[in-house]
Amino acid sequence: MRIALLGYGKMGKVIEQIALQRGHEISAKIDVTNRTEMLTINRENTDVAIEFSSPESAYGNLKYCMEFGIPTVCGTTGWLQHKSEIERLCIENKAAFFYASNYSIGVNLFFELNKTLARLMNPYMSEYKVSSNEIHHTEKKDAPSGTAITLAEGIIEEMSGKDSWVNNQIANENEVPIWSSREGKVPGTHTIKYISDVDQIEITHIANSRQGFALGAVVAAEWLNGKEGVYSMTDLLGLR
């Protein structure tokens, strides 16, 4: 399979390594130093694009790919105000678009665990206060992380009385507070807490390296190749 890498930072390089190990070919490597080469990517030389760039670049990259019908796997966060437009372009141009805030298999199972716990805790929310904490490396440009937002949205989906989230501020009763920290070279740690006067329930996912994220992105590209439509890790893992 021929893969174009849109974004060639630390994550892009790990994705390249795993893709080559799995027998794929890299058709292009695009970053801020050679953005004009994006115009050379097409369906004749690329089967799937993997987009891990920056919030500033992601929208333009995705718009180009959808308009030219290039199947694309995206893991960049911080641009989601344009997500509905990208999905519309995907459908209009019979392309394929796969988005996940996190491509780790473990994290996506953690998403399901989070929703299950929220559903179980819902009858007891007069006694427990919920909060979310996330820690990432200092090079991460957006806060909260896309993973933290997905976790908060899972809680909102399952918990009556919660309809929004806030970041690094005291929350109102209807809000899920997310507390974001940027420390050292931490790949990613996410914790959900339910605290009452008498006890505390806590679930945590700790990423030990970028390898799990990169492998998941390559597996998603393999799965997406030849398809049309809008997909997520829920489809890939058969969790619908």
Residues involved in catalysis: 136, 140
Residue 101 counted as an annotated binding residue: yes
Residue 100 counted as an annotated binding residue: yes
| Distance of alpha carbon 2 from alpha carbon 25, whole angstroms | 5
Contact 138, 132 (CB under 8 A): no
Residue 204 counted as an annotated binding residue: no
Residue 77 counted as an annotated binding residue: yes
Closest CA to 85 of 58, 56, 115, 122: 58
Helices of type H across the chain:
10-21, 55-67, 83-92, 105-121, 146-158, 211-224, 233-236
From the number of C-beta atoms within 10 Å of its C-beta (0-12, 13-18, 19+), residue 174 rates as: exposed
At 182, give phi and psi (nearest 5°).
-125, 115
Residue 84 counted as an annotated binding residue: no
Residue 238 counted as an annotated binding residue: no
Residue 137 counted as an annotated binding residue: yes
**Lookup result for tokens 């994550």:** 11
Binding residues for (S)-2,3,4,5-tetrahydrodipicolinate: 137, 146-147
Binding residues for NAD(+): 75-77, 100-103
Binding residues: 35, 75-77, 100-103, 137, 146-147
Binding residues for NADP(+): 35
